[in-house]
Amino acid sequence: MPELPEVETVRRGLVPSMEGAVIQTAHVNRPDLRWPFPERMAERLTGQRILRLGRRSKYILADLGSGETLIIHLGMSGRMTVSGDPLGQFVHDHPPAAKHDHVIFDMENGARVTFNDARRFGAMDLCATETVEAHPLLAKLGPEPLGNRFDGAYLHDRFAGKKTPVKSALLDQRIVAGLGNIYVCEALHRSGIAPTRHAGKISAKRAATLVSDIRDVLAEAIESGGSSLRDHRQADGELGYFQHNFRAYGRENQPCPTPDCTGTIQRIVQSGRSTFFCPQCQR
């Protein structure tokens, strides 16, 4: 599933063609994805100007001139790609319609934005912009890891007394929004913290270091266009390439890249998910 860097990469790629532009026609080619689409979605989107294209956790938020916000989740395999961009940033014309092109936005500026989702775990919904933070998908989310609310003191306070493994705690979207398996593994490796350590045993100093490493990993991943392991594509259809910079994730039985560490990356399973770490330098 795309994590924060992949979603942010897609959002940034869509901004030149969508933000400030009018949706000339919205085409909705099926009644649902993971859940049913909102009633009259195509009608409610057609003719609307996108005032702002934002992101909250793993959701793209398109604020419309109608006072509604379109909430978009890419699911497991969803892609949003642009063709025919009038700014000249994309070299391909509109491609022929594909089997899994479920929602298509033809913009007045000549761009076409296509939402393709082979496995149909994605989702879209519409709600009043003024109440979007109270939407059931967003209401219980913790702070953004790149925002000012997320700092060492906050994380140490939220970890206090928790016996759950720190890896699991960081995946709890109520504690911090947008983190997933890949970037938690990478941040914990950089911080030298074992993924099995109880969250409540993380000191204030180590919590501050962990926050800094989370921010750095996410920023570097966004700069690299995210990680393309299977389905992720940027808005221009290109792959992300942060996967070439992984230090722990997916590197089972390979030497630990930490300077002066002679350990080997190992894989364990936590809550049904693979965790990659170095048992020698992560304590």
Side by side, the strands of the sheet bearing 50-56 are: 50-56, 59-64, 68-73, 123-128
219/206 Cα distance (integer angstroms):
20
Looking at the annotation, which residues are catalytic?
2-3, 58, 273
117/48 Cα distance (integer angstroms):
24
222/206 Cα distance (integer angstroms):
24
Query: In b/e form, how buried is each residue of 131-150, taking b as 16+ CB within 10 angstroms?
Result: ebeebebbeebbbbbeeeeb
79/132 Cα distance (integer angstroms):
23
44/22 Cα distance (integer angstroms):
12
- Closest C-alpha among 87, 97, 64 to residue 13: 87
